[in-house]
Amino acid sequence: MGEYKKTALVLGAGGFIGSHMVKRLRSEGYWVRGVDLKYPEYSESEANEFVQGDLRDVDFVARVIQFKGEQGNFYNHVPYRLVRPFDEIYQFAADMGGAGFVFTGENDADIMHNSVSINLNVLEEVRKLNETFDGVTREYTECNRPGLDQPTKIFYSGSACMYPEHNQLDPDNPDCREESAYPANPDSEY
């Protein structure tokens, strides 16, 4: 890793926010693996490595969260003793499908199911990665990565859609405080 400050995994790196996060992390000296169901449409990804795959697939999530020793080795077999975790994970992936898909009301259950599946898969794999973190060296197991000197940090993003529509009507004074989201009345399921 020598020349890089840290490693980061950006999930949803093909989207607007995720692609900009990749760019930001790279400018700060990170080695970045970007992951998304699709490659960015409007510009080249600046990720050191971009992996396409479905984060609803538990096995794919387990593989993509492992940092494989030498950068850029996602598709190569790497001896388990060389597997290292990412320093940071940024989770922006969601089932968005566009306004015509989201706002019809016909796809609400699918949208929620897909996005929750992605979030739970990521959370579970990071939990497994971190569950034995206590600073004690043990035999290598699936849940105890060699060289893990601190838990992997994870960032989950949200959406302004969680706030009631009436909170978003005045662009000069949006009420997007966390407590204003309750009682729950989101403007969409997205």
Domain boundaries, the chain: 7-158, 161-190
The CATH number of domain 7-158 is 3.40.50.720? yes
The pLDDT tens digits for 6-46 are: 889 999 999 989 999 999 999 999 999 999 999 888 889 99
For the cut 70, the answer to whether the pLDDT of residue 98 exceeds it is no
| The pLDDT value given to residue 173 | 74
**Alpha-carbon span 96 to 101, nearest angstrom:** 8
Structure tokens at 80: 């388990």
Distance of CA 187 to the CA centre of its chain: 23
Quote the pLDDT of residue 138: 46
Q: What is the pLDDT of residues 110-124, one digit of tens each?
A: 878 888 999 999 999
Residue holding tokens 């929620």? 112
**Above 70 in pLDDT, residue 154?**
yes
- Name the pTM for this structure: 0.77
125 has a pLDDT exceeding 90? no
pLDDT tens per residue across span 48-94: 999 999 999 999 998 888 766 556 667 666 555 556 778 899 999 98
Strand pairing of 88-91 and 83-85? unpaired
Beta strands in the chain (DSSP E): 7-11, 31-36, 49-52, 66-68, 83-85, 88-91, 153-156
